[in-house]
Structure formats: C-alpha cells, structure tokens
A and B are shown apart, each in its own frame.
Chain A
C-alpha cells in the first residue's frame, strides 16, 4: 500500500483513551492555571534564545520517515529532515536540497542537482548517493509505508551531486512527489540501522534532535549546516505530545507552549485568551468509503442515494465549528487540482435519495449497514444520523484492527480522512486508482480515469495546459462510486503573539523566516 494517510478525526472524541484520562486534570488546570499565569514569563525569550514550544496531537510515533509515511506526523518530521523539493504557497514544487532539476526530452528521466557542501547532522555528505539510498530504502524496506508512492521510479543512479531518477513511464509529477511527504531524506549511514534511526533521527533539515523521550517530548536545536540556515530564526524547539484538548489553551496562556495545533472546540477559548488562532492551509479531506463490489453498493442507485443523503455543511458546523470547509473533492477550493465544474455534483437532497432507494427496491429500514471505523469518531455518528433520515440503518462498529480489513478491501462501508499528498496525481491515484490504498472498491476505477491521469503525468508542470489537464483528471476521478467526500478538517493552530506569522503553505508547516519574540511577531 502506498503511504499511510493518518485518519484525522475531528472533535474531542478523536483523543485516545489515554488522553481522555487526563481530562479531569485538564478541568482543574482550566480553573487554576489562569490564576498562575500572571507569574509566568515568556520563557521563549529567556537567555536570548528563540525557543519554539510546540505541542502537537501528532507527536511522531516513528522518527524514520520511511516508517512514518505521509501521515500527519510528517509535519513534525520535517523539522529534522529535508527533501529534494518542497512546495510553495501555491502548492508548486520549489528547490529544497535540490537546487534545480531537469527532465530528458522524453520525460522518463529526471536529474536532480543537489546543493554543494551540504551534510547530514552526522557529518555524512548530502549527495546523489544519499538520494539513491533514500529512494531504494523507501521502495524496499520491509516496514516502508511509502513504497506504493514510488511505483513510477524504476531506479536511481548517483553521479556526485546529481541524482538521476529513471522512470518506468513518462511522469512530470516527480518534483511534486519527492517533497516532504514522500521523500524526507535521512543520512544513509544512520539509515543502515533503521531501528536506531526510528528513535534517533539524522537528517539535513533545519533542526537536529538533541533528545527524544519516546511518545512524549523531543528537544531540537537549529542546524547550522542547513542549506537555508540564515532564514531559520528559531534556535531551539521543544516538541511535546499534546496532553488533552482542554489543557492546550491553558498551556499556551501560561507559556508552557507557544505554538499548538488545537481542536476546533478550543478555538473560542484560545481567542478569548488573547492567542493568535488561524487555519494553516492543508490538503485534508474526509470521505465515506463504499465498496461497490458488495451489496448494496453494487447498485448505482444506492450509491447515488448515499451521495444525495450527505449534508456536508453539518460536518463543518458540528465537527469543525465552522473552521473547516465542505468539499466533495480530495482538494481544497482554490488549489490547482480542485475542479470547480464538479462542485455541485450530487447536492444534498434527501427526498431524491429516498426516491432513488425506492427505485432500487428498498423500503425504509431495508438496508442495514455496519460502518466499521478504528475508533470513536463523531463523523460516524453524523453519517449514521444523515442516512437514517433517508431510511438506511447504520450500526457503528469499532474495530481496533480496522486497518487490516480496510486496506485488504474487505469492508463494505467505512470512513477515511487524508492529509493529502504534495503531488495531486498521487492524491488522485491513491483515492481513485484501481490499486489505490484508499479505494475500498479495488480494482474498480471510474471510466476514463486512467487515461486522464496518464495525460497529467505526460504534461509538464509549467505547461499552460497543466491546470486544466489536472482538473480533468480530478473530474474523471470524482465519477468514482467508491468515495463520497464530505468535508475538509482545518489545520487549526493557536500560537502566542510572540511567534510571528507562518508562511501559508498548504503542504507543510514552513518555519522559514518565522521569528519568536522579535521582529515580525504579532504586536
């Protein structure tokens, strides 16, 4: 399967049992901590060092990017690891470790030219051989969560600072693909012992790790050898695992943290506490996954009934407190791959839904479905409630081993949330392709999708026709009967005013130019 896309569950119930158990403590903290806040200073500026104190719901369980995959934790891993390319505010690939790249005339070979003089934090050089090792490890390591993303790559050859990527098809998406989500590059020397790398990351990113307490805390300091070190103004990073939604705001108020991803339910409290609250752009999209190889979804009319039964705005209002966005696509509005023509396909129309079910021969209550999910998720309750209104009975079943039947395509009905990919084509094939890990109906694919995707791959990223070709592929993919997209969960962040604004990059959290307690901080 290609990269694991970490399900992003909205609302407080997405917290694990462990986190819930701290909730009482949170309540007490809510009462007592503000009283103590007056005593707290801005530790971030203590000693003159700018320290980012980031608490995150997605504290990495694995620090080996090959194992961690392209789930939400890649954002934290990007503190340590750099990649060949990164994306700019429009989502377009721009240089990172590679200063430039070029395709051959045919489009089936790409050469990345690496910046000279770079080294990993263990002193190993950043060169073509390191890139080759990284790609091969992602393709071959037994526990790799990325091998499915690299199927276009036949081989890599190294020539000094050049990494030549040989493809098995024409594919102009490679610069997009080999960004933060899919190819964070680790030192080949450190990666020779993957188990050790998993707990002691060694990369060439903006920071180096000085201490890790597994599952709890990581301490990092600025990497002076990072290629863009002059634009990194943060000296130290203290990354911690967020204890509970209700404690985060108190922690921000008292200076325990100065940056945190927060649950939408806490946004008002954070604003009232005088914190900066903003939505960092992202590629998040949640969907209802249907298996059209199994009854009742083998009947197109039932699938259409589900499509018309979904009230997307209810997800946005109740789960994201209005900070998210209703979407019927795996891309946010305004992104190059978002297809405006498909925007109003299958609008919310419960009457039409009931009519379609009647045409298919189903009376109210005839269809009974198990909605299988890995953990408690308010999304499921909304789906249950909305389908009940059109006469479909849904039982929510929590299966801790959900991943096995889901990726084996054994389930009939489930939910999934993705953080997306830097490459729009990768997002499309993951959802709609015949072998896409998020296509619960494999090997089914919508008609014309394969040709549309091939056309995108064959279109250079800077070609004038590229946006329209890409949107056409999105349009073809959205004909899939296997997925009903519902809403985009917000990357909601609260930060101290001492931390300056972040670049609005939809693909990852970019610390370039961010200051703490200095110029650029919100007054």
Chain B
C-alpha cells in the first residue's frame, strides 16, 4: 500500500510533510539553536541573525521554542491516534464474532462515547487528574475510538459474510485464524484512512488544549501555546502567530491529505486509478487480492 500511496502526488506530499514533522519531533530539541527556556534582556525582539523568528515576551528564542515544542504536539497527536486504534479496532472486529451480548454492549458503548464532546471531556479529565497532556490524550483517544470501532466492524461484517470465510469456518478454522488470515488484510485499508485522519484530529486537539494553556506545565513550549502567547502581543509582533499557526495547519492538512491518498488507492477504484496511471507510464501494478474495505 505504501508504494501505491507514494505513486500519488498527494500521497508523496503528505508523506514528505509528515516525515519532516516527525523528524522535527525527534530531532527538534537537538536542532534548536538556543536553549528554548533561556530568557534574555531582549523581549519581543524582531527577526535577526541571532533570533531567526525573534524572541517572545520573556526574551526566549522563538525558533528554538518551536523546534522544542514539536515533540509534545506530535506525541500528543500520535497518542490520540494509537489509543483510538487499539481501543476501537479490537472490539470492532470481535463484535462480529463474540456473540450478541458483546456486540450489544460494545455498540452501546460506542454510541455513548460518540455523544461526549472530546475537547470538553479532555479539559474535565485534566481538572480531575491534574494538568498533564498524557492523560488528556489517552481519554481523547478513547473518545475518538468509536470511529475505528465502526470502520473495523463494518469491514469485518463485509468479510465475515463472504462465502470463503464461511467455508473456512465450516471446515473447522478457528475465529482467530480467520481474523488473522482473511479479515485483517481487508480491514487494514479503512483503518489506515481513519488513522491518518485521526492524526490530524489529534493535532487539532493538542493544539487547542495547549492554546488554552491546558495540559502542559509552563514554560514547556508547544505550538498551540506559542500561538496563544503570540496573540497577546499582536501590537508588538503582528506577524508572530503566523509560524505556529502555519505549522499546525500544514500538519493537519498533511494528515488529511494522507487519509485521502490511502482512500484513493484502496479498493477497486484505487486499483483502477493506479492501473490507469501505470498504463500511461508503462508500468503495471503487481497483482494483489482486492482489499474489501477501501474505496
């Protein structure tokens, strides 16, 4: 699938942007030219050779704070997506096989979680458990998990009712074997779409919380926090909010673009699209079983 995603321009752009963001998360603190927490006697300084993006209200280097703050933002978004993936997908698949009681309970749970506004709930959790992003993101991941539950359940239902799966079960195959052998590969594409989309959602949530000053302990920098503090000094540095705002926007956009790319190359429609492109370029797509849950 990776090769098919990269065959699309939108896929390549999305992967490139997200790779850069991931590298910032890993290497950002090392790349920071100055100590992101070190104050100076030059607050709200403009762009200069010493401070490429100027300084903030305490004289700290903004570029260093942006680089250092990327890790929190990226890890928070990943935490949301991974939690939602784990909490949603497993019961989503199992709800098809573990009987009516399990199905009824998980469906009602999913309905309940969907009804909860995750941003407000995250704020409430922080108020209850203390000001930390980890717990807020874990809870947000649980609240986002119905998306994965429904996607994986829908895909599993489509496969579970196919004749070859019924034949396998009649022949004595275990549910676990069926899931591993037949279901998982069909469920994977729609889950990948949901995962990429959730990364974007996670970024929005992390940025929103940190913009409101929730979830991080000062002076730890975050993109949302930098945006918030810059907005307070518009009269002095009107251009300052642009950088953190652009970083957030581009990252969310890249997550959504990747989701679109995965969706486009999944299923029959995606295969047809790529076959057409391959024909034009003289290349042919290797034959693979058609994914069930895409398109």
Q: Which residues of A contact B (CB under 8 A)?
A: 11-13, 15, 17, 20-21, 23-24, 26-27, 30, 245-246, 249, 263, 265-266, 268-269, 314, 317-318, 375-378, 380-382, 384-385, 395-400
Closest B-chain residue to A398, C-beta based? B131
Extra pairs beyond A375-B213, A399-B131 (14, CB < 8 Å): A12-B229, A13-B213, A20-B231, A26-B231, A26-B234, A27-B241, A246-B234, A265-B233, A266-B235, A268-B235, A314-B39, A396-B217, A396-B218, A397-B217
Contact B231 A384 (CB under 8 A): no
The 7 lowest CB-CB distance pairs between A and B, nearest first, are: A12-B232, A269-B235, A17-B212, A23-B231, A385-B39, A376-B213, A381-B219
Q: Inside 8 A of B127's CB, which chain A residues have their CB?
A: 400
Interface flag for B82 (CB, 8 Å): no
Contact A385 B232 (CB under 8 A): no
Q: Could you pull out 9 A-B pairs where Cβ atoms are within 8 angstroms?
A: A17-B212, A23-B231, A268-B235, A317-B43, A318-B59, A380-B218, A396-B219, A398-B131, A400-B131
A398-B217 CB under 8 A given contacts A20-B212, A246-B232 = yes
Q: Which residues of B contact A (CB under 8 A)?
A: 37-39, 43, 57-59, 127, 131, 211-214, 217-219, 228-229, 231-236, 241
User: Interface of chain B, helix or strand or loop or mixed?
Assistant: loop
Q: Inside 8 A of B214's CB, which chain A residues have their CB?
A: 17
**Measured CA separation A29–B38 after assembly (Å):** 33
Closest B-chain residue to A395, C-beta based? B217
Q: Quick one: which of A20, A30, A396 contacts B234, CB cutoff 8 A?
A: A30
CB distance from B142 to the nearest CB of A (A): 23
**Measured CA separation A471–B37 after assembly (Å):** 40
Closest A-chain residue to B38, C-beta based? A385
Contact A13 B43 (CB under 8 A): no
CB distance from A319 to the nearest CB of B (A): 8
**Measured CA separation A397–B220 after assembly (Å):** 11
Contact A385 B58 (CB under 8 A): yes
Contact A13 B58 (CB under 8 A): no
Q: Inside 8 A of A385's CB, which chain B residues have their CB?
A: 37-39, 58
CB distance from B120 to the nearest CB of A (A): 12
**Measured CA separation A397–B232 after assembly (Å):** 22
**Measured CA separation A13–B56 after assembly (Å):** 12
Contact B57 A23 (CB under 8 A): no
CB distance from B125 to the nearest CB of A (A): 13
Contact A13 B232 (CB under 8 A): yes
**Measured CA separation A407–B232 after assembly (Å):** 31
Closest B-chain residue to A384, C-beta based? B219
Q: Inside 8 A of A26's CB, which chain B residues have their CB?
A: 231, 234
Most chain B CB neighbours (cut-off 10 Å) among A249, A377, A384: A384
Q: Inside 8 A of A384's CB, which chain B residues have their CB?
A: 219
Contact B228 A23 (CB under 8 A): yes
